[in-house]
Amino acid sequence: MIRAAFPALFEYTSPVWAAPMAGGPTTPALVVAAARAGHMAQLAAGYKTSQAMNDEIAAVRAAGVDLFGVNLFVPNTHVISPGAHADYARALGIDDAGDPREDDDAWNEKIAALVADPVPLVSFTFGLPRGEDIAALRDAGSLTAQTVTSLDEERAAVDAGVDILVVQGAAAGGHSGVWTAGALPAERPLAGLVAEIAAETGVPIVAAGGISSSAEVAELLGSGTDAVAVGTALLRAAESGTSSTHRAALEDPRFDETVLTRAFTGRYARALRNAFVDAHDADAPSGYPAIHHLTRPLRAAAAAEGDAEHLHLWAGRGWRASREAPVAEILAALVP
């Protein structure tokens, strides 16, 4: 397969990118530090209001950084019935759960804001946006990137005309970008998935999931990948907004395994196995974002108490290699 040139925009950036991490870890300071050190980074707009996204974009620009991206959660409701929602609420000890709460993460407002005031790159996870939204962003001058976890998703993303594929393997920390409700990402080495996708499309590829050494980066760059993105490696970075409880758990020998679980949000995500996972993983239904909203007060209470056993401790399989250091130092060490 003839490969398209990686967009010229990234000619002077490192092949090691900072992956977007919503829920706190990705801060404007992290994006600025990565960009100043020559690495592409993206703000994580997921869970945020459109105004909060705009404020973060302004903060990055105010620091003199122009080359960065913004990551969005594509609305792709994994529907849950009121009965299954009520059953899980009872198992969690919640009496007054109410009806399942769905939302679209302010998708239309965010697209409108990004079209009105474009950034160099807009990336999508959880699903494929409507063609008209991809076209509007491209017409506004942005490159688009789509997270895919399988050949089927890759084919649909290429057909939709995205500029870059972010190929995410099952070792990745946090939510899997898998589109289908209830589906797990395939258990296979990232290099194999990338090679298979690279064999059938020339669209540039950024590989992500479980990367924790420059040797792994070298292997991926040699197998059809144009760049890699790391998330978990940056969770303990000085500029990241990861909570102190989450940071401590990442180096606590008590936590010795990661699992893909939907216990916290109703959508599979890789986390350190803790008491909440042990108690609820087996019964957790598919249901996103309803289960995210349902468990949120419990997780907020755990966070306030510094209780790592009942918090969503997102982590990829390479979490043991994460360390406390400036973002620039962590990313530089990953460049082959």
Ligand X SMILES: Cc1cc2nc3c(=O)[nH]c(=O)nc-3n(C[C@H](O)[C@H](O)[C@H](O)COP(=O)(O)O)c2cc1C
User: Which residues would be at the binding site for ligand X (CB under 6 A)?
Assistant: 19-23, 25, 44, 46, 71, 125, 147, 168, 171-174, 208-211, 229-233, 314, 316, 318
> Which CB sits closer to ligand X, 97 or 190?
190
> Which CB sits closer to ligand X, 69 or 100?
69
| Cα–Cα distance for residue pair 267/301, rounded to 1 Å | 21
> Which CB sits closer to ligand X, 123 or 286?
123
| E-only strand ranges, the chain | 16-18, 42-44, 69-73, 121-125, 143-148, 164-168, 174-175, 205-208, 227-230, 258-261, 269-272
> Which CB sits closer to ligand X, 23 or 129?
23
| Cα–Cα distance for residue pair 122/134, rounded to 1 Å | 9
DSSP 11-40: TTS-SEEEPP-TTTT--HHHHHHHHHTT--
> Which CB sits closer to ligand X, 46 or 127?
46
Amino acid at 189: P
CB of 290 to ligand X, least distance (A): 18
| Cα–Cα distance for residue pair 114/101, rounded to 1 Å | 26
CB of 98 to ligand X, least distance (A): 26
β-bridge mates for residue 42, sequence order: 69
Quick one: CA dihedral 256, 336, 60, 51, positive or negative? negative
CB of 173 to ligand X, least distance (A): 3
> Which CB sits closer to ligand X, 201 or 232?
232
CB of 125 to ligand X, least distance (A): 3
Quick one: CA dihedral 8, 9, 12, 17, positive or negative? negative
CB of 171 to ligand X, least distance (A): 6
CB of 147 to ligand X, least distance (A): 5
Q: Dihedrals φ, ψ of 249, to 5°?
A: -65, -35
CB of 209 to ligand X, least distance (A): 4
Say if residues 327 and 17 touch (Cβ distance below 8 Å).
no
> Which CB sits closer to ligand X, 97 or 205?
205
